[in-house]
Amino acid sequence: MTATIERGAATEPVASAAPPPRKVRFLTSSNGKKVVMAVTGAVMVLFLVGHMVGNLKIFIGKDSFNEYAHALRTLLEPIAPYRTLLTLVEIVLVVSVGLHIWAAVSLSRQARRARPVKYVARKKSQASGYTTHIMRWGGVTIALFVVWHLLDLTFGVVNPKGTNSLPADRMIAGFDPSRWWVTIIYVVAVVMVGLHLRHGIWSMFQTVGRGTARLRPVAALVSAVLVIGFLAPPLAITFGVVK
């Protein structure tokens, strides 16, 4: 591309746009996008581990759970205003989700462009097809679930206890035995999260050069622990173990 610079009366074509800085070029290259996926994925896994441990407080008691939810909002007081930490977490999560989806979509477009002819080997095609479907549709399902989940347990809009209620009451009312269908939605969504993570964590290991077969079970174990830890509270409430 060329542009013109005015020099007195005369104009002459010169090379225009300087190439983008090296860091930008790296982050928009396919290796850079994989790093973006790995880093944002790791941030989300850390959030999920913390979130799962926090949810398990419901087994200690309603008060313990409410105190934890309160602490999330008051932790940096009085140095910083009410809800500072939670707002920071929300900003980091929104940015991570956005970058993660951007990198995923553009990597998959790049891969499609580089492969104008469909796979010839049928076996390979089916295996890759399964992973692609799980990652793509699993990602969409998780995004829809998170919207429902926030309306339910954060804002209380679709929760029987409504907006002005304590977090533990929302949780227990939300998974009441009469609302078994909500628990089923959570089970399906959390299993999707687990499958997404199993492949995602493994890809993350590959991106950082640790993709040896020995680490495959680690990805599966982390995902399984998260699935079990997340599903324990809803199932315990629906089956009447926690009231």
Closest CA to 93 of 51, 53, 47: 47
Tell me the closest approach of the beta carbon of residue 91 to ligand HEM, in angstroms: 10
Q: How many residues of this chain interact with ligand HEM, rule: CB under 6 A?
A: 21
Least gap, CB of 164 to ligand HEM (angstroms): 13
Nearest residue to ligand HEM, by Cβ distance, number only: 69
* CA angle, residues 35, 224, 124, in degrees to nearest 5: 60
Partner residues linked to 3 by β-bridges: 14
Spatial separation of the C-alpha atoms in residues 71 and 194, rounded to whole Å: 28
Q: How far is CA 85 from CA 67, 74, 77, 80, 91, in A?
A: 15, 8, 9, 9, 10
Q: Are 172 and 160 in contact (CB under 8 A)?
A: no
Using the contact rule CB under 6 A, the part of the chain among 102-110, 141-149, 156-164, 210-218 near ligand HEM is: 141-149
| 97 binding ligand HEM? (CB under 6 A) | no
Least Cβ distance, residue 192 to ligand HEM (angstroms): 9
Least separation, in Å, of the C-beta of 158 and ligand HEM? 13
Query: For ligand HEM, which is the closer residue by CB, 27 or 166?
Result: 166
Q: What letter would DSSP give residue 214? A: G
Nearer of residues 159 and 207 to ligand HEM, judged by Cβ: 159
Build a one-symbol-per-residue string for 35-74: x at contacts with ligand HEM by CB under 6 A, - elsewhere: ----------------x---x-------------x--x--
Helical H segments across the chain, by residue range? 22-28, 30-55, 62-74, 84-114, 122-149, 167-174, 180-207, 216-238
Binding site for ligand HEM (CB under 6 A): 51, 55, 69, 72, 86, 90, 93, 142, 146, 149-150, 153-154, 167, 171, 186, 190, 193, 230, 233-234
